[in-house]
Amino acid sequence: MHLLITGGAGFIGSNLARLALTNGHQVTVIDDLSTGYEENVAGLDIALIRDSILSPEAMARAVRGVDSVVHLAALGSVPRSIKDPMATHAANATGTLSVLEAARAAGVGHVLVASSSSVYGLNPALPKSEREWVRPMSPYAVTKLATEQYPLAYQQSYGMESVAFRFFNVYGPRQRAGHVYAAVIPTFIDALLNGQPLPINGDGSNSRDFTYVGTVCRVLLDACERRVSHPEPVNLAFGTNTALTELVEMIESASGLKAEVVHREPRPGDVKHSQADNAVLRSLFPDISPVPLERGLAETVTWFKEMQ
């Protein structure tokens, strides 16, 4: 199988590229390296196209001879989207349309896309099922709603097979800290290992359904290998619910270090609680077992220590 990974030099994409290669597949990556890192894929036997998914010419090259596309390229971060909504819309909404059009023109009939649990927004239901109402709270969340709805519309309009996965706080090795839009787990681990206080936005009661990147990549690759398609969005998480205060304790345990915590003002657009109903995911991928948070955090801490 020949797999195209958009954003493949990023955190999730580079982990997926490694897994696909290990399983004997051919991999092409397109990444403009605006948020990805070339060292994430250094030494891998892949074709790397250093260009934007918004370039029709680059996308036409990228999809040539491909069996499936995994579309991960995006501008992440709620705060970034609040600061610059136009850039987020261009990369995430228009970018998804660009990928789908390139795939359609090349006759690539199978596309997976990465949406986000942020689309649920103001909906307070826990756990959150795919048929719950959505109410995005940020420009980022709106663009992710477009990201998932475009391929579902392409199913109906063009017969394209697809799955729109709603990711829930994916974490693991190769997720970088040290920048203003870094996710919570790498931010906490990096601060702890460098003797700095862990910054918590709010009182620490916010909770998330953390999902290890290795588990996410196994689902994505299995979806490509079996050419899975589904007419509605699919939560890609396993129904856990961990408060940030609990997360701090678990990272302390994984690292063997004691953390100092500093509380900051809550961020605009942040969802208070997030937890997936995973019934649809388990029906589509019954053989996937999630990596427990304790083990995933231990492996992530080990990676950060090796990077120091």
Residues assigned a catalytic role: 140
Handedness of CA 253, 256, 257, 258 (dihedral sign): positive
Please name the helix (run of DSSP H) or strand (run of DSSP E) that holds residue 167, with its range, or none.
strand 161-167
The SS3 assignment for 170 reads strand
Residue in the structure block whose two tokens are 């826990």: 126
Please name the helix (run of DSSP H) or strand (run of DSSP E) that holds residue 116, with its range, or none.
strand 110-116
Three-state SS string over 199-261 comes to EEECCCCCEECCEEHHHHHHHHHHHHHCCCCCCCCEEECCCCCEEHHHHHHHHHHHHCCCCCE
CB–CB of 32/51 below 8 Å?
Answer: yes
Half-sphere exposure of 240 (CA within 13 A, CB side): 21
Find the distance separating the first CA and the last CA of the chain, reported in whole Å.
Answer: 36
Residue in the structure block whose two tokens are 């894929």: 41
Q: Which one, of 77, 64, 8, 72, lies nearest residue 36 by Cα? A: 8
The SS3 assignment for 101 reads helix
